[in-house]
Amino acid sequence: MTEIQTLPTRPIEGQKPGTSGLRKKTAVFRQTPYLENYVQAIFEGIGGIEGQVLVVGGDGRYFNDRAIGVILRMAAAHGAARCIVGRGGLLSTPAASHLIRSRKADGGLILSASHNPGGPEADFGLKYNGPNGGPASESVTEKIFARTRDLQHYLIWSGEAPDISRLGTASLGAMEVEVIDPIGDYADLMARLFDFDAIRGLIAGGFRLRFDAMHAITGPYAQEILERRLGAPAGSVVNGTPLPDFGGGHPDPNPIWAHELMAAMHAPNAPDFGAASDGDGDRNMIVGRGCYVSPSDSLAVLADLAHLAPGYAQGLKGVARSMPTSCAVDRVAEAKGIACYETPTGWKFFGTLLDAGRATLCGEESAGTGSDHVREKDGLWAVLLWLNILAVTGKSVAALMADHWARYGRNYYSRHDYEEVDAAAATALIDDLRARLPELAGARFGALAVARADEFAYDDPVDGSHAAGQGLRVFFENGARVVFRLSGTGTAGATLRVYLESLETDPEKLHQDPQDALAEVIMAADAIAGIAARTGRAAPDVVT
């Protein structure tokens, strides 16, 4: 006979959620009761789920289906009324956010480690999203973490979870499990936001596109929208089948990991437009023929021209960017006379601004862009907005970028990642630099003089919450800046991220290689923090 089981457990160290939930090696999550403990802490940390409706789904990485079985059995034991699950356990992160909002669910559990690799030896993750469809707030994740530290038991239904490979409704105890098409509702939402007729016309006129889904969750969504609804030829979506290990690749849409797309877009017979998305579908990369668009520049262009799409024809209420993201969008906002908010890294910090109607468009330098249509960044949404703009203007990606820089200047920008650095060494680097910030003003590093330096903190203008320790900033007298942060998205060691930026308004200098344009800032960053000496790394692992 099936019944609710109360099984003893004890706290497990290290279950502190980061900017997007808890991420660890897959092998860690597979060790009972690691997953069970964290799910129990989520349910208790949010005040219980009795009678609630939850959305559950993930990016299809290894362990996704088995983890969902555990979550469903625990939700039933905790008295949830219904769990809405994507068929096969699949849901892109933006589609899950939309589903929470459109079905008025009480929240959702999204299984993903985003752009991190997948497989038995790779990474896994789980996060809770609230009833607004967005990542849990800092106060909620603190409550969840607090519960992980004093758990004594967890509840789980002893019977097997229902088959989630077929559409329909089944029962698990008193709880309903509703298995739904993970694609249709999201595709319909995109059709309401964008001029699909204009995009169809563009494609019918010979415009060629290539979308690299990187064997991740966005493949089926892109095939449905780009190929079936918009008429792109079959095969325009490549690597479109989600695989548990993402085909052995790294599902991070940047020029390093999406090198096949970059090669195709710089080939003699390149398509007109290229794009890629990541593991869970919330990030994007935009490439024109021979023209890579940085995420920061993409955000600025979309903010400038979003009104060309029907869903944004009335203009933007405001824009928001994470602090490390370049200031290119700030210049657009100033020209349009709309508010521009600077927040900490992490999409949850945009949620209050979106809910309050203060911002319409948001973006992060880590290839995340989105709007108030959901409460997550959305890779395919960004691709469709670019296509809508291209269809209306009739210009190429390269021409749009040249126009933008001529009008606003170019914020040369790059991020240097030092991955899996010894955690103690990386922490010491940040701690020592933090202590030296007050004495940096006036110091010279090569050709650059420091104007000021600080540690970024944020006071939310809507709910008044305070977030401290959000990155170390050094501003130079010529307007350039460098930011140092330790990333919260890795699963081994520490990732030191160094963000470099310099504004150029001279028309003769708008088409340089960013690394050349930023050479003085790069040298100053190493001199200020002693990166090479402290980490033992002569160069970053990834440059974007």
Strand 444-445, strand 448-455: pairing: antiparallel
pLDDT of residue 487: 81
Mean pLDDT on 167-186: 96
Which residue did the predictor score with more confidence, 2 or 307? 307
Model confidence at 492, pLDDT cuts 50, 70, 90, reads: low
What is 186-408's CATH number, 1.20.120.80, 3.40.50.1390, 3.40.120.10, 3.40.50.12500?
A: 3.40.120.10
Question: Is there a shared CATH topology between the 4-181 domain and the 410-543 domain?
Answer: no
pLDDT (mean) for 425-436 = 95
Q: How far is CA 162 from CA 66, 83, 244, in A?
A: 12, 11, 21
CA 165 to chain centre: 27
The listed CATH number (3.30.1050.10, 3.30.310.50, 3.40.50.970, 3.90.1150.10) that belongs to domain 410-543:
3.30.310.50
Phi-psi region of 168 (alpha: psi -120 to 50; beta: other; left: phi over 0): left
Which of 92, 112, 114, 502 is an active site residue?
A: 114
Q: DSSP of 403-433, one letter per residue?
A: HHHHHH-EEEEEEEEEEEE-HHHHHHHHHHH
Given the candidates 3.40.1050.10, 3.40.50.1100, 3.40.120.10, 3.30.365.10, the CATH classification of the domain at 4-181 is 3.40.120.10
Mean pLDDT of 388-416: 97
For residue 14, give every residue at least 6 positions away whose Cβ sits within 8 Å of its Cβ, in sequence order, or none. Answer: 24
Question: Measuring CA to CA, which residue among 377, 126, 118 is closest to residue 250?
Answer: 118
Our CA angle for 103, 108, 111, nearest 5°, is 130
Collapsing DSSP states into helix, strand and coil, what is residue 209? strand
**pLDDT for res 138:** 87
What is the pLDDT averaged over residues 198-202? 98
CA 370 to chain CA mean position, Å: 9
For residue 202, pLDDT beyond 70: yes
Question: CA 300 to CA 297: how far, in whole Å?
Answer: 5
Tell if the pTM clears 0.85, that is, is over it: yes
- 114 is a catalytic site residue: yes
Confidence category of residue 75, pLDDT binned at 50, 70, 90: very high
Q: Does a cis peptide bond (omega within 30 degrees of 0) precede residue 255?
A: no
Output the average pLDDT for the chain. Answer: 95
Kindly list the distances between the CA atom of residue 43 and the CA atoms of 49, 66, 113, 136, in Å, as whole numbers in the listed order. Answer: 6, 19, 20, 13
Separation of alpha carbons 330 and 401, rounded Å: 16
Listed by start position, the domains of the chain span 4-181, 186-408, 410-543
Which residue is associated with the tokens 């694609």? 183
Terminal C-alpha separation, the chain: 56
